[in-house]
Structure 1
Amino acid sequence: MQSHSHPGTTSSALTRLSVEVIRMTGADPNGYAHLPGLAPEHLHGNTYRTPAATTGRLADLTTVHVPWTDMAVLLVGQSHIGALGVWDYLITAAPTPLEGIQDAAAYFATVVDTATECLHIAEDGDHVTISHRSQADVTHEAACAIRAYALGILRQRLSQAAGRALVPLRVSLAARAPRRHDILSELYSTRVIHFEAPDSSITFRAADLKIPGPHTQPGLSTVLRRHADQILATAIPLHDWLSLFRTHLAAAHDEAAPTLAAVARRMALSTRTLQRRLDEHDTTWSGELENLRQTQITRLLETTDLSIDSIATRSGYANARALRRAVQRWYGTTPAALRSNSRRTFMTW
């Protein structure tokens, strides 16, 4: 799981939640709709991982329109079970709330950028303290909102896992004290809130977290952990503009022979702007298209029995002869030899 944590990205589920909340503030969509990862196919496709810079920018813009305390409450209010994907169910379907939050900490990467955020769980006699540490590159106001939201969603999910409202013994926030914190007292169901703490944390009675939950099913947690592993293993991280371009190019290639104009339309850009952006990233349309074709052709040769003619057609080459020239240029050999060598290597393994 650690090898698929995808640093620098967050889940599309978290991004959808962030977009929903910023819309609720009445912010002008023109101020954020252009951000990487917010194209409909990426925002609503659970396979994709949004650049962490995008979710950070959304948080920054939201706190321009509402106080950070209100932003935290809005986020929790929109976080129905399932809004954060499998992570929610890891908590609510575990044998006990404590086991659920332990799984959630281990699979925090299914939601956030674990290069900047983590959960730590400490048992101390009759108490269990869950700490949330965040070093996201955002403004101070946005950082306060993120930390307050994290503790709010933890209390909400643990209460849902327990089948009753859990009241924490104390809450500590790595945030400045607001003028009034009634809204936070309501969010956490306690007035025992300490501000300007080194780390944000929420503490419960251990007994409250060790009672079997009402949604427990034998073996379900194992299935959910496997599902979380699969989600992380198959995720497509969108680290930057070039990553986004390549996902659009691959999608266009899957549908038909891609053209510069077709991909530009997908990205809501003019062809001139698209060419300029490619140049800024030290690449070209023809070079990107050939790299995509090389990857696809190599995979088809190594994993299928399709004829060379069929592969040429699928890959956008005029005929098998053109494909053979391309493979010779890439690898200095023929498609048949490349296929044979790859299978011989597989047999050796």
Structure 2
Amino acid sequence: MVSHAHPGTTSSALTRLNVTAARLLGIPPTGYAHLLGMAPEHLNDDLYRPPALTSIRIAELATVHAPWPEVALLLARQSDVGSLGVWDYLITSAPTPLEGIRDAAAYLATVLDTTTDDLRITEDGSRVTLSHLNRGDLAHEAACAVRACALGLYLRRLREAAQRPLVPLHVALATDAPRRYDALIELYGTRAIEFGAPVSSITFRSADLTAPTPHAQPGLSAVLRRHADQSLAAAVPLRDWLDLFRSALVSVQDEGGPALSTVARRMAVSPRTLQRRLDEHGTTWSAEVEAVRRDHVARLLHTTALSVDAVAARSGYADARALRRAVRRWYGTTPAALRRAGDPQAEALEPAR
């Protein structure tokens, strides 16, 4: 899976975490309920990827209502293991905490927009340093909260993996010292916090991260990595009106077949208005239906053992012959060859444009 999957978006789980913090801070929903990705059918479904801007705006509202160290602590406290999906378990289920955090760095895109956020791991003899780089367009206070919270999340997951207290050797934050930072001392469990650093980072003893993870199950990490790949491949990014339309179209496809009137009703517009909006976005109803059907067929071939006849039936084709013609048109190959390739992102099998 490419490192920059679905640029400009984050996981719905991360958005939910920000919403929870906003509610606990008493921020009126009217301040963020209108943002893209906040509709319940998107916010509560891990298939969707809301815009990163949605989480950014909620974080900015949070830091208006409370000092950024307290916001960082609140976010970390609300992030119980599993709240961020498969990313959490990549850390807690690996043979060692260090191997887990390496997997978390490789699959950071399951949670964050990796065009703006990055997790880097540096091993230097007896020390391991995790550095979080954030280049997002956030207000200053919100950026401070996000960076501090990221380090706190890494620490919390590593503690859960090790199943014992881990005290970092050093914490560095790329921000000026706040007036009070008791919340940060509580978050990291140490007073060894440096402010004004060029990069936010947290440092551990290597021995703390290389000890075997209790109850680790052989082979589980590989299963979780495959699941992370599949989750990213199937995700539906929400960036603009066209993304919202496509998410509605996908949901109708899953219900048995796309109908223009049904999708129009879900988007609270008339069929004629829907077609006009598609034209404004440089596409058509038939082209969008074809794209959804293509992705649906590829997903069934790569994630199930269904026969070609069964895939055809589930995808709205009259028979396997019609499905084979469609796959040949899209990918220049057969359903069997596409299934053997095992990767819908494979360069040699890119759909024809």
| TM bracket, shorter-chain basis | 0.7 to 0.9
Q: Which amino acid aligns with 2:188?
A: Y
* 2:17 alignment counterpart: 17
CA spacing shift, 1:22–1:206, aligned 2, 3 Å: same
* 1:278 alignment counterpart: 277
Q: Which amino acid aligns with 2:85?
A: G
CA spacing shift, 1:184–1:288, aligned 2, 3 Å: same
What's the TM-score, normalizing by structure 1?
0.81
Q: Which amino acid aligns with 2:139?
A: T
Other structure's SS at 1:133 match? strand
Other structure's SS at 1:55 match? helix
* 2:160 alignment counterpart: 160
Query: For the residues of structure 1 that align with 2:109 and 2:297, how far apart are their CA atoms?
Result: 34
Question: 1:300 Cα shift?
Answer: 9.1
Question: 1:241 Cα shift?
Answer: 2.4
1:292 to 264, 285, 288: 288
How many residues are matched? 323
Other structure's SS at 2:62 match? helix
- Supply the RMSD in Å over aligned alpha carbons: 3.4
Other structure's SS at 2:10 match? strand
CA contact (8 A) 1:22 1:62 kept: yes
CA spacing shift, 1:299–1:214, aligned 2, 3 Å: closer
Q: Which amino acid aligns with 1:282?
A: E
Determine if the alignment matches structure 1 residue 346 to structure 2 residue 334.
yes
* 1:331 alignment counterpart: none
CA spacing shift, 1:237–1:291, aligned 2, 3 Å: same
Question: Whose Rg is larger?
Answer: 1
Query: For the residues of structure 1 that align with 2:40 and 2:211, how far apart are their CA atoms?
Result: 42
Question: 1:143 Cα shift?
Answer: 0.4
Determine if the alignment matches structure 1 residue 66 to structure 2 residue 62.
no
CA contact (8 A) 1:4 1:232 kept: no
Query: For the residues of structure 2 that align with 1:148 and 1:158, how far apart are their CA atoms?
Result: 16
Other structure's SS at 1:122 match? strand
Kindly provide the CA deviation profile for residues 11-68 of structure 1, in whole angstroms up to 9, marking residues without a partner as x.
1111111111111111111221121111112111111111111111111122122211
Query: For the residues of structure 2 that align with 1:151 and 1:39, how far apart are their CA atoms?
Result: 29
Other structure's SS at 1:151 match? helix
Kindly provide the CA deviation profile for residues 307-330 of structure 1, in whole angstroms up to 9, marking residues without a partner as x.
x9x999x59xxxx9xxxxxxxxxx
* 1:46 alignment counterpart: 46
* 1:329 alignment counterpart: none
CA contact (8 A) 1:301 1:338 kept: no
Other structure's SS at 2:166 match? coil
Question: 1:171 Cα shift?
Answer: 0.5
* 1:243 alignment counterpart: 243
CA spacing shift, 1:174–1:163, aligned 2, 3 Å: same
Query: For the residues of structure 2 that align with 1:162 and 1:74, how far apart are their CA atoms?
Result: 23
Other structure's SS at 2:280 match? coil
What's the TM-score, normalizing by structure 2?
0.80
Question: 1:270 Cα shift?
Answer: 5.6
Runs of 5+ consecutive residues of structure 1 not aligned to the other structure: 321-334
CA spacing shift, 1:228–1:295, aligned 2, 3 Å: closer
Query: For the residues of structure 1 that align with 2:100 and 2:166, how far apart are their CA atoms?
Result: 15
Query: For the residues of structure 2 that align with 1:196 and 1:97, how far apart are their CA atoms?
Result: 28
Kindly provide the CA deviation profile for residues 227-263 of structure 1, in whole angstroms up to 9, marking residues without a partner as x.
2122122222222222112211342455466455x54
Question: 1:132 Cα shift?
Answer: 0.5
CA spacing shift, 1:9–1:344, aligned 2, 3 Å: closer
Query: For the residues of structure 2 that align with 1:348 and 1:188, how far apart are their CA atoms?
Result: 52
* 1:127 alignment counterpart: 127
| Percent of aligned positions that are identical | 54
